Structure formats: structure tokens, C-alpha cells
A and B are shown apart, each in its own frame.
Chain A
Amino acid sequence: MGKTVSEKILSAKSGQDAHAGDIVIAKVDVVMAQDGTGPLTVQKLEELGVEKLPNPRRTVFFIDHAAPSPRKELSNAHRILREFAKRAGAQLSEAGEGVCHQRLLESHVKPGDIVVGADSHTCTSGALGAFATGMGSTDVAIAMASGKTWFRVPETLKMEITGQLPYGVYAKDVILHIIGLIGSDGATYKALEFTGDTVRAMSMSDRFTLCNMAVEAGAKTGLVESDEVTRAFLKERERTWDFEEIKSDEDAEYERSIQINVSGLEPLVATPHMVDNIKPVSKVEGTSIDQVFIGTCTNGRIEDLRVAANILKGNRCHPKVRLLVCPASKGVYLQALDEGLIEVFIEMGGVVLNPGCGACVGVHQGILADGEVCLATQNRNFRGRMGNPEGFIYLASPATAAASAIEGKITDPREYL
């Protein structure tokens, strides 16, 4: 019987002939925790008396959720990570280096890897043809200590995406459409394999956006088969040797195939307070907004900043809107500076934040006031997400976010393209 991408990777790393439903113990290639979940991971490692790690070069701690620290309690949490990483020889990604998921896909993850992270959006790297999934601090501590963890091999939903994306419609709109279609628990425990002509034609940046939000449908991971686009992405980062072709078999067994034709898709938004409350922009057009946030592991890559800057150039941010822009990593930031994008954001009235998770997670930077509305390019709009349960968050593509920043209300980006 043929295998899906997930089954192939889990078979290779467990040494078992793994199929959906099996429980396997598999070798973990990359394991990480961030400054929100990492201190608890370190505490668990200390409780177990672990000082030496089996794979310190691919064990990474990220200081990105509250970086640089806005409070002394978080400064102390950061110190726990710094000191443990030094003691155990693990890798440390300091404040300003970027969002963990962006840094993982730029420098750490390769096709065929198993990646375990104490952060739910670890599934982002699945776009490289890796099996990447989020777990809690304790599971991650055990994976760090032993180099292994147990998995239930997931059933796979095959998302066959076809058709040409219309002007002004992006990968973000596609994944919002999918989440609206199957619901916030439509893929619980499953893997989402994104395939079809549209995906093959997408950049890696767009594929990361798709996989990033797989968890918003409850999925264990999102994956894309590796191909020439993957190879080119790695080559650009001088990682040619990391490439490996990972494809599902012709006769692989899927729980379900879902066909999605995107040629008629419109720009979409997720409305408060759930990611599956999806509406076309046209239905909420004119909704007044107070803040626009462009960035995050979902849409903070150079391609996203280019789209936003193109729309913003020559315009001004609406006087009542605060625009926050946050490049997802140092590399993205430097590239954006080089291309003059940062200048565009600053000149039109925006605030550029240092790379990190900042505003999205609501720990610092850009916390909403009571009753305020934010249009953001992130992946979650839960109540309280941006630091205030009295705030309202809409999720959209960088293009919709940029056009809305100019108008001061939710706006169809096609008017600006």
C-alpha cells in the first residue's frame, strides 16, 4: 500500500512500516521551545535531571514572544533559556533574530525532517516536506532529552487546490477559505497535505502561509511535497545539500480528498472571535479600524512586505489608524531595508517593530484599547489574543491590511492594485 508524505517520514524515522492509526516512536530531528513555553521545558528537564542533550546542534531555544523583554518576570524567564542553552550546548536565537517558525524554515528544517516544537504553529515548516508539529513543554522536554517521541500516525486530508489565483487574492485568502470550509476542528488529529497546480505554482512563502494555519483547522500538521521550488529556496540560502525529494505515492490512501478551485475566490477576512468565521471582504467593507498589523509567522516574509509596500507607496496611513509592521526575521528585515520597503512603511506613518511575535500574542507592542478593532495578517483572532479581551481582531492578507490602513476601514485591496 502506498504512503502519504506523513507516513513516509514517520516510517523512515521510526524504522517501522507506518500507516495512519499506528503508534510509532520516531527520531526527532529538530526540537525547539520559545520564551513563552521554554522556561517550563527547562524546568521539566531539570526535574528529570537532564543536563546533556543527544542533539544539541538541532535543539533550539527562541527568544521571540516577548523580545526584548517588557517586564522583569519575562527577563528572568529569558535568563533561564540563555543559561540552560549555554550549559547544555543548545542553540539560542536571541531577541531580534526573528519568529521561531521563520527562523526554523530559513536555517534549521530540511525536507524529510521530523520537527517538534513547543508552539502550535510549528506546522509552518511542513511546507518544506517535513513532518512538523506543535506539542506542550513537557512533550518537548522529553523529545529534547531522548531525541525521540511517540506519534499516532495521522490520517491525511488531501487538499487539491487548482485554478489561477485572481488578482488581489493570495495564499492567505486560500487558507482562510479552507478553514471556513472545514471549520476550526475540521482536521483535528489529521494531516493536511496541500497539493494541486495552484500549490505547485506557489512560492515557498505562500506555501508556508498555508501550512502555518493548518493548526487553525485542528490539524496536527500541514505538508507540501518538496519540489523544484523547495530546492531553489534552499539553494538561495546556501543549503543545496539539504534538499531531498519527498512525494506521496500514487496509491497513497487519504481519508478524504477535497477539491478547491480558487479561480473564483475573493479577498476574505476571518471576523471576531474565531478563525473559521470567514466572510468576503465585500461583506464587511467599511468596518472602521483602529490598528493594522502586518507581520508574524503567517505573513511577515519579504514577499508579504513587498505586497503591502506596493499598495502603501505614495499613500498615507489614515490618521486614525496605527500601522504596525513587523518583519518575521532579521534576514527579512535586512532585505526589506535593502529594497526600500521599510522607508515606505515609516514615511507613510507606520511603526516598524523588531522581528518577533510581539503584537500577535498580546504580551507587548500594540495592545488594543477596549472596543478597538485591529485588522491583522496573523493567524488567530481569539478573544484577548492581542492583549485585551475587549478588542476585536479581523484576519486578512497583507494586501487587504495595507489597503485598509490607507482607508481607515476594511477595504478591498483590488481597488489599490
Chain B
Amino acid sequence: MIYQGRAHKYGRDVDTDVIIPARYLTTSDPDQLAGHCLEDLDPGFVSRVKLGDVLIAEENFGCGSSREHAPIAIKGAGVSCVIAKSFARIFYRNAINMGLPIYECPEAVNGIDAGDDVRVDTEKGEITNLTRGVVFKITPFPPFVREIIESGGLINYVRAKLKVEG
């Protein structure tokens, strides 16, 4: 898979309360959640973000609550993938379960500024900063995780498996 878009960059400890505040957890609809994505951190994000864009962040992205609405909101906003120095544990698992690709790559975070054009090639295991012409290596996901993401999330993956097993 290839993901390509403009970078939106944030600091450390971007928590799930700012990704999607609890006051909006009245729905799990991706479009409705997307309308409030990152609202308390960056109110302009929703109007700036375009389909395929990439979120870049420092350490501990997604810390806090277990709400799966966080990766749903990010994906719903059109973000193709998240690259951070590190992720909080529950968010990491939730993102994969929701089919949102996420990559731990400190070098890429240091080497990408907000507004840079970024391409992620999952087959080659490369993140390219197209604006600056710099390439960073990522460790590809194990095959089953890739299958989950490519199925669009864990539920689709499990359903497909159940179908095959018949």
C-alpha cells in the first residue's frame, strides 16, 4: 500500500481526550466523529486536513482513555496513517483493530515538518519526505497485522476468516 499526503505535526502526549473529547462520544459514526477530531488541540485541523494526509507526533501518541472513537475519528477525517516516536498501548491496538496504519519512527518524526509532503510505502517499508527528498526506514508489520489493516479492521478480518473456515 502507498499512502501520500501533507504532514500535520504535533508534540508529545497527544491524548485521546483531545483526539476526540468525551462530550462527542454520543455516536460511533466516523463522519460525525471526524468533525470534532483534534478539536481541543487544534481547532483548525478539521478544515485543513485533506484525504490521505499524514499525522506526525512526538512520543506517547494516543495516551489516555481506551476509546476506540479516537482512531475512528482520525481515519474518518481522511488521515491515511500516523507516524510517531511512540504510541500508547491501548491506542496502538485500537488503531490496528480499526484498520488505521500507524508507524513508530523517531527519525521520520525528526525529519518531517508540518506542511511537508510525505509518502509511506508499506511494501518497501519506507517513509519518504517528498518535500526534502529524504527517506526513512520502517519495520513492516507482521503479515497478520497487515491483513487486518488491509481488511479495514479486525471485525472484517475475523469475518473473512470465519467465512473461509466455513
* Chain A contacts to B: CB under 8 angstroms: 36-37, 39-40, 43-44, 47-48, 65, 71, 73-74, 77, 117-120, 122, 134-139, 141-142, 184-185, 188-189, 218, 220, 274, 361-363, 380, 382-385, 387, 389
A120 and B64 contacting across the interface, CB-CB below 8 Å: yes
| Chain A CB within 8 A of B26 CB | yes
Q: A361-B22, A362-B21, A362-B22 are in contact. Are A218 and B64 (CB under 8 A)?
A: no
A-B pairs, top 5 by smallest CB distance, nearest first, are A73-B26, A136-B94, A389-B40, A136-B68, A185-B60
| Chain A CB within 8 A of B53 CB | no
Q: A136-B94, A138-B98, A139-B93 are in contact. Are A218 and B60 (CB under 8 A)?
A: yes
| Chain A CB within 8 A of B17 CB | yes
Return B89 CB to nearest CB of chain A, in Å: 5
Give chain B interface residues in 44-71, CB to chain A under 8 Å.
Answer: 59-60, 63-69
Return A39 CB to nearest CB of chain B, in Å: 7
Q: Which of B106-114, B116-124, B150-158 contacts A (4 or more CB under 8 A)?
A: B150-158
B159 and A48 contacting across the interface, CB-CB below 8 Å: yes
CB-defined contacts of B27 to chain A, threshold 8 Å: 73
Please pick, from B41, B59, B69, B158, the residue contacting A142 in the complex, using a CB distance under 8 A: B158
Please pick, from A37, A77, A218, A383, the residue contacting B17 in the complex, using a CB distance under 8 A: A383
Q: A47-B159, A188-B89, A389-B40 are in contact. Are A120 and B13 (CB under 8 A)?
A: no
CB-defined contacts of A48 to chain B, threshold 8 Å: 155, 158-159
CB-defined contacts of A134 to chain B, threshold 8 Å: 66, 90
Return A386 CB to nearest CB of chain B, in Å: 10
CB-defined contacts of B26 to chain A, threshold 8 Å: 71, 73-74, 77
Total number of residue pairs linking A and B with CB closer than 8 Å: 115
| Chain A CB within 8 A of B138 CB | no
| Chain A CB within 8 A of B28 CB | yes
| Chain A CB within 8 A of B18 CB | yes
Return A80 CB to nearest CB of chain B, in Å: 11
Give chain B interface residues in 126-166, CB to chain A under 8 Å.
Answer: 153-155, 158-159
Pairs across A and B, CB under 8 Å, 10 listed: A36-B67, A136-B66, A137-B66, A185-B13, A185-B63, A185-B88, A188-B89, A383-B40, A384-B17, A387-B23
B93 and A136 contacting across the interface, CB-CB below 8 Å: yes
B68 and A37 contacting across the interface, CB-CB below 8 Å: yes
| Chain A CB within 8 A of B25 CB | yes
Please pick, from A138, A185, A380, the residue contacting B94 in the complex, using a CB distance under 8 A: A138
Return B162 CB to nearest CB of chain A, in Å: 8
Q: Which of B27, B60, B63, B89 has the most CB of A within 10 A?
A: B89
Return B148 CB to nearest CB of chain A, in Å: 10
Q: A185-B60, A188-B88 are in contact. Are A136 and B18 (CB under 8 A)?
A: no
Q: How far is the CA of A4 from the CA of B98 in the complex (A)?
A: 32
Interface size class of chain B, counting residues whose CB lies under 8 Å from the partner chain: 35 or more
A137 and B18 contacting across the interface, CB-CB below 8 Å: no
Query: Which residue of chain B is the closest to A75 with respect to CB atoms?
Result: B26
A218 and B155 contacting across the interface, CB-CB below 8 Å: no
| Chain A CB within 8 A of B80 CB | no
A385 and B68 contacting across the interface, CB-CB below 8 Å: no
A135 and B21 contacting across the interface, CB-CB below 8 Å: no
| Chain A CB within 8 A of B4 CB | no
Q: A73-B27, A184-B60, A185-B59 are in contact. Are A384 and B154 (CB under 8 A)?
A: no
B13 and A218 contacting across the interface, CB-CB below 8 Å: no
CB-defined contacts of A122 to chain B, threshold 8 Å: 66
Please pick, from B13, B39, B89, the residue contacting A189 in the complex, using a CB distance under 8 A: B89
B64 and A382 contacting across the interface, CB-CB below 8 Å: yes
CB-defined contacts of A119 to chain B, threshold 8 Å: 65-66
CB-defined contacts of A44 to chain B, threshold 8 Å: 155
Q: A134-B90, A136-B97 are in contact. Are A142 and B154 (CB under 8 A)?
A: yes
B17 and A385 contacting across the interface, CB-CB below 8 Å: yes
Q: How far is the CA of A80 from the CA of B104 in the complex (A)?
A: 37
Please pick, from B13, B66, B98, the residue contacting A37 in the complex, using a CB distance under 8 A: B66
Query: Which residue of chain B is the closest to A71 with respect to CB atoms?
Result: B26
CB-defined contacts of B153 to chain A, threshold 8 Å: 138
Query: Which residue of chain B is the closest to A40 with respect to CB atoms?
Result: B28
Give chain B interface residues in 1-56, CB to chain A under 8 Å.
Answer: 13, 15, 17-18, 21-23, 25-28, 39-41
Q: How far is the CA of A48 from the CA of B17 in the complex (A)?
A: 29
Q: How far is the CA of A65 from the CA of B69 in the complex (A)?
A: 15
A135 and B17 contacting across the interface, CB-CB below 8 Å: no
Q: A138-B155, A387-B23 are in contact. Are A120 and B28 (CB under 8 A)?
A: no
Q: How far is the CA of A134 from the CA of B91 in the complex (A)?
A: 10
B90 and A120 contacting across the interface, CB-CB below 8 Å: yes
CB-defined contacts of A142 to chain B, threshold 8 Å: 154, 158
Q: A40-B68, A142-B158, A382-B15 are in contact. Are A188 and B23 (CB under 8 A)?
A: no
CB-defined contacts of B39 to chain A, threshold 8 Å: 389
CB-defined contacts of A139 to chain B, threshold 8 Å: 93-94, 97, 154
Q: A382-B15, A385-B17 are in contact. Are A138 and B97 (CB under 8 A)?
A: yes
